[in-house]
């Protein structure tokens, strides 16, 4: 599955990030806790490499907690300041502000030694589309500032947002990178809703999701769809079983494979079957981490 995805507004957004980076003390990157590797934009490493980074693993309530804990440990080992949150929680600022202070302590110590008066921490928020960035920002600001929605790419322009008494946030549009070299990354991004459904072959995404469940969470798959499946079941057999169990048929009692595809993606994307982390903290790139 080859996906090339770099609309004009994303190229413009990259330039704006580069231009505004000198105005901030720290970068706050929001990732999807289900796919911390796949939802990280490698292009941002090059752009923001000289800034300390706070990493937010959002949607932790949809991810495997044990894997989230492993990712926290891995990110700390990389010199970042990570925290796992639920974007709709109203206690977010209390978790982020201490990390931002720790990340910028050296910067403000230097300013103080030069006699520069203390000011609010200026942070840039980055994240690919649909990782919940706008929801997080609205909860930090205690009011609706950023537009939210399940459609990737809702945020279009940069804006400064006051966060409590000690922080100012610069929001940025969600930016994807020019091409996904690893097709598994593209499937994970689609499965979790970061890429518009209209630009990917959804049958490949659903098959990836079913294979993941079959390999790692077979009992969940069997229980949720009330089907008799095992580790050796062919994909066509899983489609047939789910179609029959859920009544997804066309005229002539034929299985509606498109409906099964859409149902499987919806169920996994919305954590209806269970809480899963598709990127393993200890895996290799080929494993999707």
**pLDDT tens-digit series, residues 189-221:** 999 998 888 888 999 999 999 999 999 999 999
Instruction: Calculate what percentage of the chain has a pLDDT beyond 70.
Output: 85
CB distance 51 to 21 below 8 Å:
yes
Q: According to the model, what pLDDT value does residue 183 have?
A: 84
Residue-wise pLDDT tens digits, 250-278 = 988 999 999 999 999 999 999 999 999 99
Mean predicted lDDT score pLDDT of the chain = 86
Q: According to the model, what pLDDT value does residue 150 have?
A: 46
How far, in Å, are 48, 57, 112, 122, 283 from residue 115 at the CA level?
27, 36, 5, 19, 47
Residue 72: pLDDT band by 50, 70, 90 thresholds?
A: very high
Q: According to the model, what pLDDT value does residue 285 have?
A: 44
The answer, as to whether pTM is greater than 0.75, is yes
Burial of residue 88 (CB within 10 Å: 0-12, 13-18, 19+) is middle
Mean pLDDT of 46-56: 91
Residue 45 has pLDDT above 80, yes or no: yes
User: For residues 243 and 11, what is the distance between their CA atoms, to the nearest angstrom?
Assistant: 42
Sign of CA dihedral 177, 179, 182, 186: positive
């Amino acid at each position: 599955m080859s996906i090339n995805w770099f609309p004009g507004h994303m190229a413009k957004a990259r330039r704006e990030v580069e231009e505004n980076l000198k105005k901030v003390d720290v970068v706050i990157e929001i990732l999807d806790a289900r796919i911390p590797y796949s939802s990280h934009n490698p292009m941002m490493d090059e752009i923001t490499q000289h800034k300390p980074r706070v990493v937010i693993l959002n949607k932790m309530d949809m991810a495997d907690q044990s894997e989230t804990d492993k990712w926290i440990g891995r990110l700390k080992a990389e010199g970042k300041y990570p925290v796992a949150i639920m974007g709709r929680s109203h206690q977010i600022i209390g978790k982020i502000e201490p990390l931002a202070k720790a990340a910028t302590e050296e910067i403000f110590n230097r300013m103080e030694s030069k006699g520069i008066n203390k000011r609010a921490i200026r942070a840039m928020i980055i994240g690919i589309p649909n990782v919940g960035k706008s929801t997080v920002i609205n909860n930090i600001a205690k009011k609706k500032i950023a537009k939210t929605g399940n459609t990737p790419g809702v945020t279009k322009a940069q804006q400064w947002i006051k966060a409590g008494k000690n922080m100012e946030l610069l929001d940025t549009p969600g930016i994807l990178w020019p091409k996904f070299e690893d097709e598994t990354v593209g499937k994970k991004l689609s499965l979790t809703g970061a890429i518009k459904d209209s630009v990917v072959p959804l049958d490949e995404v659903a098959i990836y999701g079913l294979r993941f469940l079959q390999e790692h969470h077979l009992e969940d798959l069997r229980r949720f769809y009330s089907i008799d499946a095992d580790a050796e079941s062919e994909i066509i057999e899983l489609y047939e079983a789910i179609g029959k169990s859920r009544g997804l048929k066309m005229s002539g009692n034929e299985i509606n494979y498109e409906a099964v595809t859409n149902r499987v993606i919806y169920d996994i994307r919305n954590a209806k079957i269970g809480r899963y982390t598709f990127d393993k903290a200890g895996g290799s790139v080929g494993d999707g981490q």
